[in-house]
């Protein structure tokens, strides 16, 4: 018995890297998988049906069930087709793993180097792409729930430490990527609230793994260990058990953000108030000059003490 026996799963960007590792493990755990992948290059250009098809073949060769889908998640109708493929092929949809993404790998570039086209592409693939798939899946689950069916569904979104953790001084913040990944966190928390009543849990992971994306952006960090017997922290397969656990219908967790680097799993919480000023009259600018400066100093002291 696998932890996902009979669950129907869509994995976006499932043809390579992290998505491939998730699709293989979820299938090995008993899920029926729609392997979505546009087959684009790292900058989001081009299309190739090869990656999705080859992961489907790997799953089938191991005795699992899978079908390919090569729509772009940025395409509203394409994302609808991808969700329908699950229902039409396997009769249902239980899990959406939103993973498709790109990374320009411009770790030495800066805000002023980002042009309009690259900004739009980055936001489209990550924010719109996650939303498109979520939106069509949510409609399916809402309709099932309203028709009296039992929904025990799970969405796993893919953010990045770049979306909320300060990077080292050597790197730029990759502002377009960071903004897109922070948007995915907001989407996760909001969708968890909205879809909870239909029986849908929504969580986000922020992985770190050796893929073509990270090998371009930070090859020294994700390199395989010299000793082949050592634990390979950045093998993408180290991230997938967390995705499988979040996907299983015995998992109760929703609205959470988990950072996974090898076997280290950290639970993150978003913005929380760390200080307050108040009075029952409008503030003057002069008062704020004193009180807000004091509040911010206190907040910085509290933050550095943690």
Report phi then psi at 70, rounded to 5: -115, 20
Report phi then psi at 283, rounded to 5: -70, 145
Of residues 32, 40, 72, 181, which has the active-site annotation? Answer: 181
Q: Which is nearer to ligand NAD, 151 or 211 (CB)?
A: 211
From 200, 25, 10, 153, select the one nearest 88 (Cα to Cα): 10
For the four alpha carbons of 10, 155, 6 and 198, in that order, the dihedral sign comes to negative
Beta strand residue intervals within the chain, DSSP E: 8-11, 32-36, 65-69, 95-97, 153-158, 200-208, 257-261, 264-268
Q: Which is nearer to ligand NAD, 45 or 271 (CB)?
A: 45
Residues with Cβ within 8 Å of residue 43, at least 6 apart in sequence? 102, 104, 118, 121
Of residues 3, 160, 214, 240, which has the active-site annotation? Answer: 160
* Shortest CB 295 distance to ligand NAD, Å: 34
Q: Which is nearer to ligand NAD, 72 or 240 (CB)?
A: 72
Q: Which is nearer to ligand NAD, 200 or 243 (CB)?
A: 243
* Shortest CB 5 distance to ligand NAD, Å: 26
User: Is 177 considered catalytic here?
Assistant: yes
* Shortest CB 34 distance to ligand NAD, Å: 12
* Shortest CB 291 distance to ligand NAD, Å: 39
Given the rule CB under 6 A, which residues bind ligand NAD? 12-13, 15-19, 36-40, 42, 44, 51, 72-74, 99-103, 125, 129, 158, 160, 207-209, 211-214
Say if CB 162 and CB 105 are below 8 A apart: no
Q: Whole-angstrom Cα distance, residue 254 to residue 257?
A: 9
Q: Which is nearer to ligand NAD, 83 or 151 (CB)?
A: 83
Q: Whole-angstrom Cα distance, residue 134 to residue 83?
A: 9
* Shortest CB 18 distance to ligand NAD, Å: 4
* Shortest CB 106 distance to ligand NAD, Å: 14
Q: Whole-angstrom Cα distance, residue 116 to residue 60?
A: 42
- Does an H or E element contain 90, and which? helix 76-90
168 DSSP 8-state letter: P
Q: Which is nearer to ligand NAD, 158 or 248 (CB)?
A: 158
Residues with Cβ within 8 Å of residue 183, at least 6 apart in sequence? 123, 126, 127, 163
User: Is 181 considered catalytic here?
Assistant: yes
Of residues 40, 177, 214, 259, which has the active-site annotation? Answer: 177
Q: Which of the residues are catalytic?
A: 160, 177, 181
């Amino acid at each position: 018995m696998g932890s996902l026996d009979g669950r129907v799963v869509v994995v976006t960007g499932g043809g390579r890297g992290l998505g491939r590792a998730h699709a293989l493990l979820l299938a090995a755990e008993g899920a029926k998988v729609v392997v979505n992948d546009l087959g684009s290059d790292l900058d989001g250009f081009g299309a190739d049906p090869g990656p999705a098809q080859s992961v489907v073949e790997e799953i089938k060769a191991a005795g699992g069930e899978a079908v390919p889908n090569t729509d772009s998640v940025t395409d509203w109708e394409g994302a609808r087709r991808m969700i329908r493929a699950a229902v039409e092929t396997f009769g249902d949809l239980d899990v959406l793993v939103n993973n498709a993404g790109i990374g320009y790998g411009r770790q030495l570039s800066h805000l002023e180097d980002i042009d309009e086209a690259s900004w739009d592409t980055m936001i489209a693939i990550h924010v719109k792409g996650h939303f498109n798939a979520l939106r069509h899946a949510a409609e399916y689950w809402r309709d099932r729930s309203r028709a009296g069916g039992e929904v025990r569904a799970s969405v796993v979104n893919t953010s990045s430490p770049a979306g909320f953790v300060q990077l080292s001084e050597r790197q730029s913040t990759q502002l377009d990527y960071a903004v897109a990944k922070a948007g995915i966190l907001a989407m996760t928390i909001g969708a968890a609230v909205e879809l909870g009543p239909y029986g849908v849990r929504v969580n986000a992971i922020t992985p770190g793994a050796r893929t073509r994306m990270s090998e371009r952006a930070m090859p020294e960090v994700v390199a395989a260990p010299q000793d082949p017997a050592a634990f390979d922290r950045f093998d993408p397969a180290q991230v997938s058990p967390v995705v499988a656990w979040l996907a299983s219908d015995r998992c109760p967790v929703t609205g959470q953000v988990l950072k996974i680097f090898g076997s280290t799993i950290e639970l993150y919480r978003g913005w929380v108030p760390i200080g307050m000023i108040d009075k029952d009259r409008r503030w003057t600018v002069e008062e704020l000059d004193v009180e807000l400066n004091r509040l911010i100093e206190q907040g910085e002291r509290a933050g550095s003490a943690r």
